[in-house]
Amino acid sequence: MLIVGNWKMFRGPDPAALAGLDAVVCPPFTRLRDCVEAGLTTYAQNVHWDKEGAYTGEISAPMLLELGVVGSLVGHSERRQYFGESDETVGLRARAALAAGLRVVACVGETIEERRGGKTEAVLRRQLSVLEPHPDLVLAYEPVWAIGTGQTATPETAQEVHAFIKSLLDAPVLYGGSVKPDNAAALLAQPDVDGALVGGASLEVDSFKAICETAARIPS
């Protein structure tokens, strides 16, 4: 059961307050070193596909590894929505990061318009088509309509979609979308939910610890 906290563009909590926690944190770039030095399993929020080059604002896998960072998110819905991330570039980032020795959490998910239009499976099939099975690849299903909105997919909906994703690509699948201490148990208890990608609740030490403790109680 893997719990990943995505701090997004927030400074986040004191890494020392999370020391010893069995979880992954994805802080902004300015706090990567702090988290590594606190002994936390630290992932970046993004990684480029080239080792170096004229890519202002990007960061490469070797640079992250040099800091002690062990993994990265790729393809988060906010990268797709605000920064022009495409399925093709998600695939490039994932393959390059895995080849360099980073672990990867690759995010997929549909918008509310796509869900209402009955396109969920088609969207996921397209997004997953650029990814290949790898021992260090984990997927995160994040329904875009449930991110930062307070809405959450029902446990039954999450289970149905996770099972579909696994039918297309053999990899663990995390659920991401307004995961909180009060809904984590029901979501994590689903047989095809292998953990959670936590946004806002990961910024508060007590709530993030509560989710991690809930996950630890779920039979593997």
In this prediction, residue 163 carries a pLDDT of 98
Domain extent for 22: 2-217
Number of domain units in the chain: 1
Per-residue pLDDT of the chain (220 residues; tens, 9 = 90+): 999 999 999 999 999 999 999 999 999 999 999 999 999 999 999 999 999 999 999 999 999 999 999 999 999 999 999 999 999 999 999 999 999 999 999 999 999 889 889 999 999 999 999 999 999 999 999 998 877 666 778 999 999 999 999 999 999 999 998 899 999 999 999 999 999 999 999 999 999 999 999 999 998 7
The model carries a pTM of 0.95
Of 17, 144, 173, 149, the C-alpha closest to 82 is: 144
User: At 49, which CATH number?
Assistant: 3.20.20.70
Alpha-carbon distance of 186 to 97, in angstroms, equals 32
SS3 at position 197: strand
Distance CA 202, CA 130 (A): 29
Q: Which residues are catalytic?
A: 76, 142
Strands 71-74 and 195-198: what pairing? unpaired
